[in-house]
Each structure stands twice: as structure tokens, then as C-alpha cells.
Structure 1
Amino acid sequence: MKYIFIVLSFLLLLFSPLLGQTQPLSQTVRGTLTDSDSQIPLIGATLIIVGSSPLVGTTTDVNGNFRLSNIPAGRITLHVTYLGYEPKVIPDIVVNSGKEVVLPLTLQESTTKLAEFVVRASHTKGQARNEMALISARSISPEETSRYAGGFNDPSLIMSNFAGVANNPNGNNDIIVRGNSPKYIQWRLEGVQITNPNHFADQGAIGGGLSTLNNNILATSDFYTGAFAPEYGDVLSGVYDVKLRTGNNEKTEAVLGVGILGTDLTVEGPLKKGYGGSYLVNYRYSTISLLTDLGLTGVKGSPKFQDAAFKIVLPTKKAGAFSLFGLGGLSSALLKEVKPDVAETPGDRSMLAGIREDMEKGSHLLNLGLTHTMPSGTNSFIHSTLSFSQEGIKDQVFESTIEKQYNGSGDFLRDSVLTTHPNYQSHLLKSTYRGGITFHQKINARNNIQIGTQYSLVAYDYRQSQLQGDAANRVYLLDFQENLGTIRNYISWKHRFNEAVTLVTGLHNMNVLLNHKSTLEPRISLNWQLSPTSSLQAGYGKHSTMEGAHNYFAQVQTENGQISEPNRNLGLLKAHHFVLGFQKRFTPLLVAKAEVYYQSLYQLPVENKATSTFATINEGPDFNYVALVNQGTGKNYGIELSLERFFSHNFYYLVNASLYSSTYQTLEGKERNTPYNGHYLINILAGKEFVKLGKNKNQVLGLNAKVFFSGAKPIIPLLRDAAGNLAVDPAANKFWDYSKAYETSLSDLSKLVLSVSYKWNKPRTTHELFLNLDNLTDNKGKVTEYYDPSQPGSVGHTTQRGLVPNLMYRLYF
């Protein structure tokens, strides 16, 4: 740890000569303004900085471009107007002296005649950028990702600040939406479906310890929690549509970051002077690994990771605009003496006396995409995509038999390793090729249509094996090389009855070519502006998704000892989503929201056994390969309440609460909690900036805090007798009481997060220092239990992650 502070101190000293310079600190704010439906440039629109004196403003040129020069460093709010369009307010724009601000803006055409038109500028904070998403959707800006306490500069973690969304308390990047399994989240990058973008992910594409994305490269992105728009398919839980910002096409700029988690460099600039194309490239390497490689630490076996991302924009005069993007990551770790509180390993053998397990974990991911947008008329365009994704996992568990050594007085000395051999081995490789095309047609100010289709081909190369008990023979759980194709089609129609009422409806069609399964999924949502300060939303959607490939091709041993693959004909999981929402704006800066939802899940894969409690929706990093049937059901319902005071006058707050239930049924016919049914979530966030500090009034101190509460996680308990005494049988590998699955839980969870940032603007550079203290009180609520003979009562517990500090320094130049 001390070496990180040495590096940071060196960087601060390196740039300390700049601290004495004094001159006006300003920056350029520029961008483009287009029609939100047709994407045509809006010429002659007016943009002014709210509250500026004298008034500062500009208009857009023939290409929809605008430029505001010499804008003082700080925060500004833009007011955008254009004849025949609904005005818009874009608040909380951060202006740093070390980097230009480039904004892609859109306006919605008004449906009201000019003579009746009343200007009411809409505040866009938190609204989804996708005009087809009217309910259970919100946007998250890069500035919020940095500012909110607990975000760790990680887009995955930031979502748990919002109503109805939770993370895994052990610190993994699981996104649990409304009680649904995190494996049913769909990740998108630039509108294209991608892999789970987290390092150290498992075979269910769940979680991982750290995102490959960071907010240096992100634009405002959208997150959806239910009743999705017609374009989204093969998803049950939520959709995170991440956008990469476009690089500066006029000026070369860079950001250098050094932190406890990683050291990264972002570079952007024009491809050619006067061309209009740009590039954006980011590379990051784990800081501890970097210092270890340089011989500056004595750390052995520490987790290693590196990742990179890029976006290249290639506009043309007659052939439309092309964009090439990519995201990749590589990670590895060696975990010594693994217990369930460190990581889950197959077979529960780490709980056996005389057995020690070490785990080598490796993973990689790669996403490459090409998009093309081509105007096809005055009010229409065609958007095409080609992409390739790959994710690989290579895990190995080494099992050692040990004998405890004692001295003559009976005192324990050490563990003596007798034998070591590889037990569990997993090599999973998934490669996906996708191609899609969407036609967008703006018929008029009231009607907009989208029609799209996408073909996906997934190539699997899976091998997974483990030793059978104490025997020397190796049993293959998975051993297949298969290709699986899907075709998805959709049509979406947005109709604006007037300025107050908007309807979006459509159909989504999903086709699985492996076993000829298909669905037709209706979607409809409505937004009704009851008054200038209140609105009502309603939505319904039928949704479906495939189960993980490891369940389709699992090798299951029958009662007569033969191996079969009984799940190849497994059908799609399906759900009905119903949502009703209400929003009240008390002031332009203070908004309250409420949403009530009900999700009816059906055709869930469950074990084909009348006494079993197993359903694939409860899968975590472990696995259970059994014969499955699509006869399970589930229910998720709840209410979400939020009160948000947007950032203005240097402070903000956000309070939200969720009361919910998440249950399922197998063939046993009993309704049980899912492991994600915590019953309630509460978030309280607040922040304050102290501006114009220092002799030159060029420094900003930011304080942000978060308090989080949630209900306990339902568990599968250890076997106990009628008196409550432990009744496990390690010799027979019997530890868990499946008859009481998810009926009990241990302790409610809570934590306090504090973050501090300090920024100082200098001529042509900006410096930032961040400190985030996650779980400041080091609260370690019990999450699950496991058998551990070395613990009192032979019961060990996994707990929520304790205090984790993250320190980072950034230089913008």
C-alpha cells in the first residue's frame, strides 16, 4: 500500500510548479444538436447558459454544430430551444480547464400547433436517452458514476444506488433487479449485446470482481428494470445499455489515472485535421500487479487484470457514418486455502476435514463491433451492426490432503501436505457472431416507427470435469462443441396523441434454431402528462430468454449408470411484466417517483423430480447438473419510492426505498423465497461541493456519502436435528437441508460509504484526487453459513465485504 502513496506523491510533486500559475481558467463547450427521432441536424437552434450575466449563448450551424468558447471552469446548465420543438434543459455540465466538453444533444419535435404552444423546458436529468422507453428506465451519466459514493468508478456498482437494484453483499458486481437472478441481466455496448464486462466472472456470466469499463470512456447510458421496449429481447431481468463517448475530433487530449485498483491512460483526438473523425482509446493495468512486476512489492499470487477499450468514429459525406468499437479484458488469480467465505468450489469438498483446496482462476473477454448509420430519406435512416464477442473461463481447483502436526505438548504447529492433485477443471469458451439492421422512420411529429432484425450464432467449446469422490477416475460434467443460432425481430411504434400523452407499442419475436423454440412478445407503454408537474406511466411486456448453455448440454447420469443429455429440448424462460408509475415534480430540481410492479415468471427450468427444490433461476457460481423441465413458476412484485434533489447550488440528495417479494415454485408445489428475496432496500445519498477554494479560487472539494440498508439473504441452511444441533454427515457428503431451502436467513445488512474528492483546475490541465471508503464502519453482516470444523460450533459464515478503501489520482491534459 505504501508504494501507491509514493507514486501518487511523486505525481503531485511533478505537477506542483503549475500550482502557482494564475490566469483565467476556461474551456470550450461544443457539440451537435439533432432531431431525436430522425437524427437530422437542427439548424439555427438557440443554446444559452442559464444564469450567465451577461447572457452567453450561441446557435447551431448548417450541420447542427454549436460552440461556446471561453466558458469559465465549473458547472453550467444549458437551455436549448428551436422553433417547432420542445425546449430542453441540460443541467449539471462539468467544465474542466484540462478537457473540452463535447455534447451530443437531441430535441423532440412538438405535436402542438405554434399558436397554442407554451414553452415549458423539460429537465432531462435521469431520463432515458431512448425515446421508446417510457417506464422503468433511467439514465446514468459519467459524472454521477464518479460522484456517487460507493461507485468505485465502476458502472456495475453504481446501479445499486437506485430503487429496486442490489449488488451481491460479498462485493461481486452482480446486478440484482427486482429480485431477479443477476444472470438474466443483458449488457449492451453501443446498442450491441455483449459479454458480461466484468473480470473474474463465472460460468453463469454472473458478477465478477471488477468492471472492465470505467467512466473515463463512458457517455450517458441507459438502464432498464422492467417492461422493456420492443427492441430488447432474450432478457428477463434488466438491460444495461452502455454508451462510449465520442473522442474529441478537433484536439488531442489525455487522462492519466493512478489508483489502488488500477493505473490507466485514456487518449483521444482527431484522426485527421479538418476531417471530423475521431478516436478514443483507454488501457488499464492492475496497480498492485504493476508494482509487483517492477519488484516494488512482495505480494505473491495477487489478482491480476488488464483491460482496454476503444471507439473510432468515421463520418463520410455520402456513405453515412461508421463507428468501430471494442472492449477487452484479461484476468487471473491464485486463491490459497479456499473456504466458502473466499470462493465457492464444486462439491463442497473444502468443508471436509483433512482437505485443503487451492484455486487458479483465469478469464478473458473480447467485444468488437462495427456500426453504420445511413440516411435513407429526409426523415429516416438505417442502422446496421456487425459484432463479435468472446468470453472464456479457465478454472482449476487443486485438492490437497493434509495432516495436522503437533508438538509434544499437543500444541498445533502446522499443516503437513501429504498429496496434491487437480480435482475440478473447467475450460469454457463462448464465441458469438451477431449481425443486425434497424430501419427508423419518422412519419411526422406524432408518429415514429422502428423495424429491426438480428441474427446471432453462438459457438460453444465447453469442457468441465472433476474427480468422482475419492476415486481416481475423472467424470466429465460438460464436454461439447456446439453452434447455436437465434433470430430476433421486432417492430416498435411511438405515437404522440398530443404534448401530454405518448404511446409506445410493438412486438418482439424470438427464435431459437437449436430446438425450434419461438415466441411472439407484445409490448406496450404509456406516458400521460397529467399536469406541468405530474405524470403517470403504465407498461406491460411479455419477455423471454434462453437458459445458460451449460444446462442445455449438461451430461446427467441416469439410474442405470448411463450418461445422457436430457435438456437439449429445454424451452425458453418467460415472464409477464406489469408496471404502473407516477412522477411528481415539486420544483424544477425536486422530483418524487413511485413505481408498482408485478412479474409473473413461468416455464422456468426446474429439476424433474417431485421432491426437488432446484430451479436454474437460483444458480450462482456453483452448478447442479440434473434433468430439467420447463414447469417452474415465479413471482416478483413490489413498490419503489424515490425522492431526488438534482445537483444544483453545489449539493444534491437521493433517497429511495423498495419493498418487494421474490418467490418461485418447483414440482414440489411449494412457494419458496429465491436467494435474492431481501424484502427491502433503502438508499440514502447526499453530496456537497465547496467551490472556489484556494488563493486562485480554482479548487473544488466534494463530499459524498451513502447509507444502505437491506434485508437478510435467504439461504439453504446446514442440516440440523429437531433440537437445532448440527447434523451434517461429511463422510456421506451431506451438509445442506434442501427441504428448508431459502426458508431462513441470517442478518440484515447495512453499510456506510464515504467519498472525498479534490479538484484543482490549472491552465490546460485539471487534477483530481479521489478517496472512497466503502463500508466505513467495517460492518460484516452474516450472509450464508457453511460447515467448518475449525469454527465454534463447526459453523462458519460468509459475510458482507468489509472496509475497502480506494484512492485514485487523475490528471486531465
Structure 2
Amino acid sequence: MKKGKIEFTIDFRKIIILILFFIGYSSFAQKGAIRGKIIDNLTEQPIEGVTVIFLADSTGTNTNPEGLYRLDNLPIGRASVSFSFVGYETVTLSNIDVTSGKDVPLDIRLNATYNTLKEVVLNSRSKKDKPINKLAAVSARQVSVDEITKYAGGRSDVARLASNFAGVSAPNDSRNDIVVRGNSSTGLLWRIDGIPVPSPNHFSSLGTTGSPVSALNPNVMSNSDFITSAFPAEYGNALGGVFDINFRKGNTDNYEYTVGVGALTGFEGMAEGPMGKDGSFLVAARYGLAGVTGGFGTGATPNYSDISFNLDFGKSKLGNFSFFGIAGNSSIEFNGVEDYDEEDLFSAPDEVIEFTSRFGMMGLRHTIALNNFSSIKTTLGGSFSGQIGEIDRIYDFDTPQANLLRFADVDNTEIRMTLSSVYNAKFTNKFSLRSGIMLERYNLQADVANRNEQPDNDGDGYPDFTQRISADDSYTVFQPYAQGLFRFSESFTLNAGIHGQYFSLNETFVAEPRAALTWNLTPVHSLTFGYGLHHQNVPAPLLFLNQNIGGVNLQANRDLDLVRSNHYVLGYDLRPGKGWRAKVEAYYQDISNAAVDNFSSSYSSLTEGADFLFSQDKFNLVSNGKAHNLGLEFTVEKFLSKGWYTLATVSLFEAKYEGSDGIERNSPFNNGYVFNLLGGKEFKVGKNGKNVLSFDSKFSTSGGRYYTPVDLAASQAAGYEILQDDLAFSEQYDPYVRLDFKVGMKINSSRKKVSHQFYIDFQNITNSENVFVRQYNRLTNSVDQIDQIGFFPDFGYKIQF
């Protein structure tokens, strides 16, 4: 079956004329500003008296008692700033993008030197890849907001950004699932400002962590951490990775606004500014346009919107309080033949589908210093995730006997209440401690009923409408932890701790040791080793499956064991020159206690999570499944300097699992290899060189995903897809290949505090026909192939003032 092409027309002459007009308009130099807060990286307490120097002209200032600083009247363009204080490592940040439309928020975490008695002599270049969390020593990197919006093909989606990093495989243009080192995307933990949350995406479903569209708005995000293995002790209930998202604070000095529109980001607006004595507010909202512009992969029109906020109430005698949150709503309707195209990724001509998804979270955080070396941060949060879906199917479609019947009903609501309290203490420069608790209370109301693959027991000529999930349950996950940082010398550091996890459904408590060693052989060479024991509960759609026995619905999967995983990581870092970094990591992951059938079969819960739905016929599962993931990863990166950057990552890996039949098979996520090459160049343009023309590109390729072939004869006889279980994941799709190219323009106004940004992102410019799925088509009685989204030009405009 041939892939249909998306038709999209852009008048490039008008765009070029518009850009040249703005270049001519902005012919005089405008000034910019940098502001922020400087805190100790471990205690998170503000540092007063830090010297902040703008290196281009030696303009300087010092932080106030709250750790705040501000540099005004700075020239527009890329700049470098240094931060120094006795007893702390000096940090120099390069290529800060100073614009006329908006103050640059630049919050810094300083690390104490090993010897507090001597002056700071280490003038360390900023290691932008190093995580914000100092206790994350292996398989971790910092994700900057600039990367989210700058890289080609990223759709301003932080989840898609992760696919550029070593160890991540995401060869699916229709979803943003993060597959880490061969693990299912269900093994990923999302956190927002320290609070675990369900999938922060539009159109998500119960138990998944990805979807077609992200609900995380880069306008409110600060730099965040992405961890792929051997997580520090504070993270739990995850096997495959952690994405620790941080929200930034609003401008405490001036009111600022952003308005924009994009083919995929949609309409967006943001406002921020001072609030109260020394507080601030930040509010941002978006309304999606992907359905109108064609970037969703379907003829139906998706509607989605989200709003995010962060209110900081400033410092008081009772400490610092802040209130933050996000809310998203999405819906879509597939109106059968009216919206159907044979290349549509999601719809069918004989089905009418209405689907609504909602996501939200709020948190109230309190931070207080106990003394000059310790603090407590406590957060009370709540999150909400819900889906309502209705599917009507026309049986005997396109015949005189056509009959419209309800095929499926979905009504799921998950509410979490979370209490997190963290104690941070730096007793000496050689020993620091972080300990705390995480208490999550889940309330799940889930109802799933459908006719999928059901017999006709009532004799009406149609499959029975069967209740697959019926849950009104509450359960608790409790996680205490403690971790210390031990600096034995300037070059040798140990992070070690223990994480505990209690899961109330099976009344199980586990203790998980974690450790990471860092040995800085020289200023440019370092070795790391990490180990971690991790557990995670089986996803809720499997735990609460109903099995009807004698007219009674039983949930035999409720007491399944926690899935267990041992992580081992060995890494080598090289800093060959200013702004360059190379890294090699080898890892092995041993997994046990996965859920498998209680009879001989190829099934494992580790194969779930690559789609909207989970298996609905897996009753009486047992915790006897095994798996392993191993691999070698290479990263070479040049951070943006002298107007250009590049990033190359290579991941070579194997992901295998065993079902209850004891046969080792390929995991569906065993792509084998992933290669990414990104690069970009900026050019100063305009009379004063204050505007920037940028070009960014990305090339990605990976092995195809493994899949189970269809038993065509059995499917034709049954009228629905039946797979060859004995050949599970024995066949592989063709390799995934994609090339993206992005052109952008940043224009700084000459007369006002205003800046303009334009971009055109040509995604999949070679129109590669990457496979989306091969599946049985019940209407044609054949196995058909549907390809992923082809060439698509994303574009956007943003004004900041």
C-alpha cells in the first residue's frame, strides 16, 4: 500500500520579504539584561556576595542576601558570564543569548570546592551536559530549554528532544514515547518540580507515558535532568529512565510577554512579572493547530490546549512558598468515512470515535533554611489524568445489513495525592546528605468495556459487549530514601544511598541500594561507575483486568510482584577542548519478576506500552518473566560556540526477554542501533549584527522495531487480527531514516524592548516512507502497511516584549 502525501503550500517569497523588512527595521543597537538567582547546589540555599561578571566589557555585580543578581544595559548577541565566590568552583557560562525582547533568566547552582581554606582557582567551563542534580553521577545529562526550541525536527517537545541523546530510541513520528536502552516507555518516570505525574501529554491513555502531543510548555520550563540508568536514591518506581522537569520562576523586576503561533505548537501566550514584595508570577497557555495544518497524521481534527503557571511568593519568616501547576485538555472525533483515508494512522471507515483526554497537576512547595548548612523542602501535590472514549462500529459495513452498534466504552480517572519532603544538608565540603520521603495515594476509577475479540454467547449475531476493566480502588506507594555524597579527594567522589518502596496492593516492601563512583583522572579525563537496584509495579491496565468466572468479575493480577531490575553502568568522559565533550558508556540491565502468562506463551508485560492500549486478555499472570538489556553508547558534542554546534550519538544495544515458554526473544524495542547527527550554524546579520540567521539540521536512523507476524488465515476466519504467538517479535520493520532541516531568524528591535523570532522546520525532507504498522485489515481481509507521516513543514512566529 502506498503512502499518501501531505499537501502543504508556503509562499516563501512573502516570508523572505517579511524577514528582510524586519532586518531593515532593526538597524540600531538595543540593550538587553541578564538576571537570576545563585544557590548552593546541594543545600539549595541562596549565596550572598557572588561576583557576577559580564566578560565582554567587565560589567559586574554581586548577589544580594536572597542570592539574586541583575545585569542591565548589555549589548545584544551571544555573551559569556562568570560567577565566582570563595569556597566555590567558579563557573563560566558561554554563548548566552541576550535579546532585546526579554530578560535572560539565568539561575546558577554553585558547587563547593574540596578545600574551603584556599581561594577558588578552578575556573571551570560550564559543563552544560552535567545534570542539575549533583547526586546523579552516571547516565545523566542536563536538558536546556534552548535545545528544546532550537534543534531541528523537535516540534518544541521535550520528549522528542530526548530522542537525540544516546540510549534513547524513538523511531515513531506519530508518538513521543521515550524508549530508554531497550525498556518499554512504561518504565519512564515523569516528575515536575519533584512531584511524580502521569503522562504529561495530550491524548494519553491509562498506563502510558507518551502520546502524539506534549502538554509541557517550553516557555515555563527551566533546565531539567534526564537520567537513563542507575538513578540516585531519590527516584523510584521506574525501570527505564527519569525525566525530572523544572519550572522556572517569573521575572521579579519587570513585566514581560510572549505571543506566538506555530503549525504544531499552535497559538501561545505568556505573561510574567513581579508579584508582591519579592515574588513573581509566570502564566502560559497554548491552543493547538496540528489538526488544521496536517501534522497529526489523520484527517480528523484534534483539539488540544494547555495552561501552565508558577507563582512564587518570595521569602518570608516562614520560608519560601510557591504554587505551580499545569492543566491540559484534548479531544478528537473520527467520523468514519467522512474523515477516513486509507493512509490515516488512527481511523477506520466503519467506526465513529469520540475521545477526550485530560491531564493536570498542582503543587504547593515550602522551602525553609534550618541553619546555614541545611534546609527542608516540602511539597504537597495532586495530579489528575482522565480519558473518556466512545467507539461505535458499523457491522456488516457497506452492505444492506449494516448495523451501528456500540463497540467500546472507556471512562478512566486516576487521581494522585503526593507528599514529598526532602532534607538537604552540607555538613562539610567533603560530606553532604539528602534524605526524604515520597508518599503517593492513588485513586483509580476505571471502566473499559468492548466487543474486541469476544464470542457471541448471547446469540444476537454480534460479539458480546464485555467489561474488561471495572475498578474503583485506592492504593499507596511509599518511598523513603537517603543518599550521601562523599568527596574523598579533589578527584574521587562517591554517591551512595538506599531507596525503599512499599506497594500496598501486594503489601510488598523492597530496599534498593544505589551507588556511583566518579574518578577525575585529570581535568579532561574521568571514569564513572554506577549500580542501582530498581523496582516498578506492573501498569494499572494489567493489574485491574477483569476475568469473568461464573458471572463474577475477578482481578487475579492485583497481587503481582514488583518488577525488579539491576543496573550496571561504566562510563568514560573526555573533554578534548573548550566546548567539546566525548563520552562512552557501557551498561547491562538484568530484569526479573516481569508478568507473564501462567501457561506456556511468549507474552511478557515488558512488551507493553508502545501504543494507546494494553493487552486485555492477560488474566492470572505470574511474576516469572525475565529480560536483559545491554549496550554501548557514544556521544561527541560541541556546545554552541563561535556560532556553531554539533551533536553525534551512537547507540548499539540488545534487548531480549523471556515469556513463560522460556524462549529468549527480541523485545519489540530491540532496534539494535540508533544514530543521530545534529548540527547548526548562526550568522549575525543586519547593520549592527544584532540579528541572527540560523540553520539547523538533524539526521536520524535506527534499526526497525520488531513485530509479531499476523496469522492471516486465522484472522480471516475470526474477523479480527490474530498474531502468531509462537513467532512473537520475530520479524523486523525496515530501518527508520529521517532528515530534518530548519531555518530561523531572530530579530531584535531597534527602538523598543521587543524581539521577533521566525522559523521553518522542514521535517522528513526526503519524504522517507518509514513503517508505522503492518496489521490485519478486517475490511480488505489482508495485511496492510501504513507508513508514518511524510514530509511536513513546521513553522512558527514569536514576539517577545
Q: Could you tell me the TM-score, scaled by structure 1's length? A: 0.91
Structure 2 match to 1:108:
111
What's 1:806 paired with? Answer: 794
Gap runs ≥5 in structure 2: 1-5, 456-460
Q: Give the structure 2 partner of residue 599 of structure 1.
A: 589
Equivalent residue, structure 2, for 1:155? 158
Matched, 1:335 2:334: yes
- 1:318 and 2:311 correspond: no
TM-aligned CA deviation for residue 77 of structure 1: 1.8
**1:322-345 residue CA offsets vs partner (Å, 9 max, x unmatched):** 110011100011124479974579
2:163 aligns to what SS in structure 1? helix
Following superposition, the deviation at residue 561 of structure 1 comes to: 7.3
Paired with 1:284 and 1:9, the residues of 2 have a C-alpha distance of: 26
- Tell me what 2:732 maps to: 745
Deviation at 1:446, TM superposition (A): 0.8
Given that 1:206 and 1:621 are in contact with CA atoms closer than 8 Å, whether structure 2 keeps it comes out as no
Cα distance between partner residues in 1 of 2:285 and 2:24:
28
How far off its partner does 1:416 sit?
A: 7.1
Tell me what 2:783 maps to.
795
Q: Which residue of 2 aligns with 1:302?
A: 301
Per-residue Cα deviation, 1:64-88 (whole angstroms, up to 9, x for no partner): 3222221111111222221121111
**Matched residues in 2 for 1:46 and 1:213: separation?**
34
Counterpart Cα distance in 1 of 2:606 and 2:586 = 26
**Letter matched to residue 563 of structure 2:** L
Q: 1:483 aligns with which of 474, 487, 501?
A: 474
1:637: how far off? 0.6
The structural deviation recorded for 1:547 is 1.4
- Matching residue of 2:77: 74
Query: Which residue among 419, 422, 430 is the counterpart of 1:446?
Result: 430
Contact 1:391 1:429 in 2 (8 A): yes
Aligned with 1:129: secondary structure?
A: coil
* Residue number among 671, 692, 695 corresponding to 1:703 in the alignment: 695
Deviation per CA, 1:628-680: give whole Å up to 9, x if none. 11100110110000100110000011111000011111110001111110000
Matched position secondary structure for 2:649:
strand
* Correspondence for 1:177: 180
For the 8 Å contact 1:713–1:783, the answer to whether it is kept is: no
For 2:735 and 2:396, locate their aligned partners in 1 and report how far apart those are by CA, in whole Å.
Answer: 37
Count how many residue pairs are aligned between Structure 1 and Structure 2. Answer: 777
Cross-structure match for 1:407: none
Following the alignment from structure 1 to structure 2, what is the Cα–Cα distance between the partners of residues 9 and 271?
41
Name 2:268's counterpart in structure 1. 264
CA contact (8 A) 1:84 1:109 kept: yes
Closer, same or farther: CA 686–416 of 1 in aligned 2, 3 Å: farther
- Determine whether 1:36 maps to 2:41: yes
Pairing 1:390–2:384 present: yes
| Alpha-carbon distance, 1:526 to partner | 1.0
Query: 1:537 corresponds to which letter in structure 2?
Result: T
Question: What secondary structure sits across from 1:216 in the alignment?
Answer: helix
Of 610, 623, 630, the match for 2:623: 630
CA contact (8 A) 1:535 1:582 kept: yes
Select 2:195's aligned residue among 185, 192, 195. 192
Residue of structure 2 equivalent to 1:119:
122
Residues 162 and 178, structure 2, Cα contact 8 Å, conserved in 1: yes
1:220 match: secondary structure: strand
Residues 125 and 666 of structure 1: CA distance in aligned 2, closer, same or farther (over 3 Å)? same
Counterpart of 2:62 (choices 59, 63, 67) is: 59
- The one-letter amino acid of 1:395's match is G
Please report how far the alpha carbon of residue 612 of structure 1 lies from its aligned counterpart in structure 2 after TM superposition. 4.1
How far apart, in 1, do the equivalents of 2:734 and 2:409 lie? 34
> Hey, what's the Cα distance between the residues in 1 that align with 2:83 and 2:352?
59
2:720 and 2:776 in contact (8 A); partners too: no
Quick one: which amino acid aligns to residue 388 of structure 1? G
- Determine the C-alpha separation between the residues in 1 that align with 2:368 and 2:566: 35
- For the aligned residues, what is the CA RMSD? 2.8
Amino acid across the alignment from 1:401: Y
Partner deviation per Cα, 1:380-439 (whole Å, 9 max, x = no partner): 0010010110100112221113555xxxxxxxxxx8782212101111110011112111
For residue 457 of structure 1, the aligned residue among 416, 441, 444 is 441
- SS of the equivalent of 2:718 reads helix
Q: 1:777 aligns with which of 760, 766, 769?
A: 766
Q: Bigger shift: 613-622 or 246-255?
A: 613-622
Name the SS for the 1:747 alignment partner: coil
The within-5 A match list for 1:560-639 is 563-619=553-609, 620-622=611-613, 623-626=615-618, 627-639=620-632
1:526 aligns with 2:514: no
1:96 aligned partner: 99
Q: Distance in 2 between matches of 1:417 and 1:624?
A: 29
Change (3 A) 1:401 1:504: same
Deviations 1:591-619 (A, max 9, x none): 11000000001100111111343435434
TM-superposed CA distance for 1:117, in Å, is 6.3
Give the 3-state SS of the residue equivalent to 1:143 in structure 2.
Answer: helix
What is the rounded CA distance, in whole Å, between the counterparts of 2:579 and 2:299 in structure 1? 51
How far apart, CA to CA, are the structure 2 residues paired with 1:277 and 1:251?
12
Q: Which residue of 2 aligns with 1:278?
A: 280
**One-letter code aligned to 1:532:** P
Asked if 1:716 corresponds to 2:708, the answer is yes
The separation in 2 between residues aligned to 1:342 and 1:489, in whole angstroms, is 47
Give the conservation status (yes or no) of the 8 Å contact 1:690–1:702: yes
Structure 2 distance, partners of 1:624, 1:587, is 54
1:20 aligns with 2:25: yes
Greater mean alpha carbon deviation, residues 497-506 or residues 619-628: 619-628
Whole-Å separation in 2 of the counterparts to 1:381 and 1:116: 26
Amino acid at match of 2:270: T
Equivalences for residues 159-238 of structure 1 within 5 A:
159-238=162-241
2:748 partner SS: strand
Deviation at 1:727, TM superposition (A): 6.4
Answer 1 or 2: higher relative contact order, Cα 8 Å, separation at least 6: 2
The separation in 1 between residues aligned to 2:773 and 2:293, in whole angstroms, is 35
Preserved contact between residue 168 and residue 174 of structure 1 (Cα < 8 Å):
no
Distance 1:711 1:15 in 2: 43
The match for 1:425 among 405, 409, 420 is: 409
Partner of 1:515, secondary structure, is: coil
- 1: CA distance between counterparts of 2:430 and 2:686? 52
**Matched residue SS, 1:611:** coil
Partner residue, 2:539 = 548
Aligned residue identity for 1:588: K
- CA distance, structure 1, for counterparts of residue 747 and residue 45 of structure 2: 39
Q: Displacement, 1:785? A: 1.5
Query: Matched residues in 1 for 2:343 and 2:729: separation?
Result: 19
For 1:34 and 1:479, the matched residues in 2 are separated by 49
Inter-CA distance 107–288: structure 2 relative to 1 (3 Å threshold): closer
Identity of aligned residues (%): 30
User: Greater CA deviation, 336-345 or 263-272?
Assistant: 336-345
Q: Report 1:633-782 matches (<5 A).
A: 633-691=626-684, 693-719=685-711, 728-731=715-718, 733=720, 735-762=722-749, 763-782=752-771
SS at match of 1:161: coil
Give the aligned residue type for 1:374: I
Q: TM-score, normalised by structure 2?
A: 0.92
> 2:247 is paired with a residue of what secondary structure?
coil
Amino acid corresponding to residue 643 of structure 1 in structure 2:
V
**What is the aligned partner in structure 2 of residue 131 from structure 1?**
134
Cα drift, residue 93 of structure 1: 1.3
The residue type paired with residue 750 of structure 1 is V
In the aligned structure 1, how far is the partner of 2:304 from the partner of 2:566?
39
Q: Deviations over 1:445-490 (max 9, x none)?
A: 1111111012111111110101344536421011120111121100
Contact 2:283 2:310 in 1 (8 A): yes
Rounded Cα–Cα distance in structure 1 between residues aligned with 2:466 and 2:16:
54
